[in-house]
Structure 1
Amino acid sequence: TTTTEKKPYYQSQFVNEWWDNGSLPIWITAQRQGLKAGSLHFPGTASSYQGQVAMVQEVEPLLYNYKNETAWRENSDKVMSWFRDRDLDFVSLYFGEPDGVGHKYGPDSPERREMVRQVDRTVGYIRHSAERHGLTEQLNIIITADHGMSTVFRNGLVEEITLSKIPGFSFRDLSFHLLDYGPSGMLLPKPGKLDDVYNTLKGAHPHLHVYKKEEMPEHLHYSKNDRILPIILWADPGYVINGYFPVQFNNGEHGYDNQEMDMKPFFRAVGPAFQKNLEVGPFETVNIYPLMCHILGIQPEVNDGHLSVTKHMLVISDSRGSGDEKTNHLKNAFTGLAAVAGFLVVTFIAIMSQKMLKRKHKNKRSYSFRDAQSEPVQSSF
């Protein structure tokens, strides 16, 4: 937003300053503390951070088929070989489905359900691949996502939100805008036009919420960064925000209020660091980052997560080894993934860590997959 440039996601991966913005991905933090890290197709892999890149990296090619199950298996095997043959401690791996299918057909569609079955098969394949590579007793695996998916109302069932149709609103009053990206948008009014634009849009549609940057609800965590524009638009679930005219035809979207159940991802973990068959209550995704750092044995960057939220999942609850904690248990946690993912998963991620004795103390290896905000350095996972 500071450059007033717009690029598709793939091209944006190669605009280094958009990624190297004060935050650090966990693979850079791990390398700075003596570990070896890699990243395959994970957002941000193509960029350098304060002059550093992942020791081993692979960016997906242009026009990459994110749905190809054979490629998923090849990538899983490749990452396992990185651990075994290149002595890595951490790898991040990204799978772009069932996000694409969920957008195109909707989260409750037969196509989406079939893609979730593919995700489920891949989870099984990952575990078999770890076994074939001799990593089962060393590898911790976390499977999660960065958001959920909600059905978009279509077929004339609702009055769509189109800014150009709002009386009194004019794009001539704007210097820059980010619109037609689902249920949210941002506007940069021309000098002296902020209040006019704000007052015109406020209350103009019953399912459109309009905020000045400083008015954003605190639970959305969307007002502090200097890349956020002065006016922020937010739609209710089922609606998207169009600019000049409707150009969005997705049947599924994300980016709604993070308190909506449809927006919530899932979390699964297995490995020597984790208690077996343990069911835990809901927690915010930001708490996964300090958990990963703890398993890796590294000091986290400044972040909003807390290890205390996830510590009870671990066999050893702190670095000094305070012992196991007793909690309720869930049978067949991994077989439940497909049912959970069918409603919640958008992007498929797994994080794995491998424990070993090295560098004069006990470090641990980690592997992460994923369907993705500073004056002090912050974590960007």
Structure 2
Amino acid sequence: MTKQHRIITLIAIVGMLSLNSCSSKLSPTTQKATTSNSESALKKPYVLLISLDGFRWDYVDKYRPPNLINFISKGVKAQSLIPSYPSKTFPNHYTIATGMYPDKHGIIGNIFYSYEKEATYNIRNREMAEDGSFYGGSPIWIEANKASMVTASYFFVGTEANIQGMSPTYYYKYDGSVKNETRVAQAVKWLKMPAKKRPHLVTMYFSDMDDAGHNFSPSNDEELKNKLLALDKNLGDLFKGIAATGLPVNIIIVSDHGMANQSIENLIPVDDIQNDSLFSTINNGSIVNIHPKDHIDTNDLLEDLKRKEHHFKVYKTEDTPGFENIPTNKDWGPLQLVPDLGYYFSTKKSIAARIEKNITTIGVHGFDTKYKDMHGIFYAKGPAFKKNYEIPAVKNIHIYPLMCRLLGLEIPEGIDGDLDQIKSVLTPLLNKEQD
């Protein structure tokens, strides 16, 4: 072998080693979504998880939607579904999907600062919403995928992201303009697919009640009832379509949070508190994360902010009320501003725009879950569930292990949810078979 050949061979070997090294680092992102059910997956039942964003615990009793009332009468219900704090949309949808509190799975707000990425996550930033590296835990569609089970989603937080290198087999990027009828028709089509390609887990999302609650406040009975009855018709069509397939589908209906009335007069302009030379703020309305600049002492800043308290309180993060466990995620920042009950943080620009439109009351959420207005719903029906059965209020962290049980999946270690807290909704036979 000539010297030139030896050099070329050495370069090739080094190149191959480099490629192999890169491949090992990137391997988690090269996995593919399951496209065909395994023989084991084919024998499993079906789970349809439906999220009705902003659907407060008392709306069914207040407005009497016929299809939901019929659904509940033939299945199970919780007196309410207790969200995780803060009771915001993205944190709680992802808690339902992972069985983890936001502090653990990392989506701690609709907006939050990531120290690791040195960037501010915002749900309105599509690139970030689809960046799987923000999302911790192992959502239910990922666990199903690992078990060679086909999955599908028509909008659900996290399903657009490449989490652990995977996404649902079939999914759509969020587009709020897509009509409910389109979502319903597609879900039924999925369940009519050939068995090998048919998803055993389907997640869906409807924003109707959240939109109405924010825009008109949850005290506007006329607007909320009209919106709910229209949504109820869509759900009725969905239930009929599923029944027509003859498949053993277990349907779970949840919401991420409730809704509270908020007077415009009691909005706190966060602009009056901000001081860019000392700290940055991440405002989620019901809680403001404070991130001091590198040269600022946290204790000094705490005392300075306390002198500005007016319809809000300042806390060290570990002392902040609302958290079930002491938060340890650095992305909260060391200090939190929490508005008094009946108050909410906003901006001067947003407040002025509402005043100009003569808006006096809106709907908000995100508060401590000890307030019942923050509670959502849990209803379920199907061959695995008891009929006409009610349980006390239950925490949303427990839905994840319940779905794992229904799909015959191993419940991952390290989650916050506990199947024992919710499994009474299942038929005795199912519990006996799998305990």
Q: Which residue is 1:224 aligned to?
A: 328
Show the 5 A alignment for 1:132-171: 132-135=244-247, 138-154=248-264, 156=265, 158=266, 160-165=267-272, 170-171=275-276
Q: Which structure has the larger Rg over C-alpha atoms?
A: 2
What is the distance in 2 between the residues matched to 1:236 and 1:153? 13
Tell me what 2:292 maps to: 189
**2:386 aligns with one of 235, 254, 275:** 275
- Cα distance in 1 for partners of 2:426, 2:123 equals 40
| 1:56 counterpart residue number | 170
Counterparts of 1:89-128 in structure 2, within 5 Å, are 89-109=200-220, 110-128=222-240
> 1:84 Cα deviation (Å)?
5.9
Provide the TM-score with structure 1 as the length reference: 0.73
Return closer, same or farther for 1:204/1:299 CA change in 2, 3 Å cut-off. Answer: same
Deviation at 1:227, TM superposition (A): 1.9
Partner SS, residue 289 of structure 2: strand
Distance in 2 (alpha carbons) for counterparts of 1:251 and 1:274: 37
Match of 1:287 in 2: 398
Does the aligned pair in 1 maintain the 2:399–2:417 contact within 8 Å?
A: yes
Q: Which runs of 5 or more structure 1 residues have no equivalent in the other structure? A: 324-381
Aligned to 2:315: 211
Cα distance, 1:9 vs structure 2: 2.8
User: Which residue of the partner structure matches residue 65 of structure 1?
Assistant: 177
* RMSD between superposed Cα atoms in Å: 2.6
Partner Cα distance (1:83, 1:18) in 2: 35
Judging changes above 3 Å, is the alpha-carbon distance between structure 1 residues 71 and 196 closer, same or farther for their aligned structure 2 residues? farther
CA-CA distance at 1:146 after TM superposition: 0.9
Alignment partner of 1:172 out of 269, 277, 295: 277
Following superposition of structure 1 onto structure 2, how do residues 74-93 of structure 1 map, counting pairs within 5 Å? 74-81=185-192, 86-93=197-204
Sequence identity, in percent?
26
The unaligned stretches of length 5 or more in structure 2 are 1-112, 355-360
1:33 aligns with 2:143: no
Aligned residue-pair number: 308
Q: Distance in 2 between matches of 1:89 and 1:253?
A: 35
Q: Distance in 2 between matches of 1:208 and 1:30?
A: 44
Task: Output the amino acid matched with 1:312.
Answer: S
Alignment-mate amino acid for residue 420 of structure 2: S
Alpha carbons of structure 1 residues 183 and 222: separation in structure 2 relative to 1, 3 Å: farther
TM (norm. structure 2) is 0.65
CA distance in 1, matches of 2:322, 2:344: 22
C-alpha separation in 2, matches of 1:85 and 1:40: 20
Indicate conservation of the 8 Å contact 2:286/2:367, yes or no.
yes
Aligned to 2:108: none
**Residues 200 and 59 of structure 1, relative CA distance in 2, 3 Å threshold:** same
Superimposed CA distance per residue, residues 171-229 of structure 1 (whole angstroms, 9 cap, x where no aligned partner):
3211x3212x3222111111224223322222634531222122223644472223221
Q: Residues of 1 paired with 2:375 and 2:390: CA distance?
A: 17
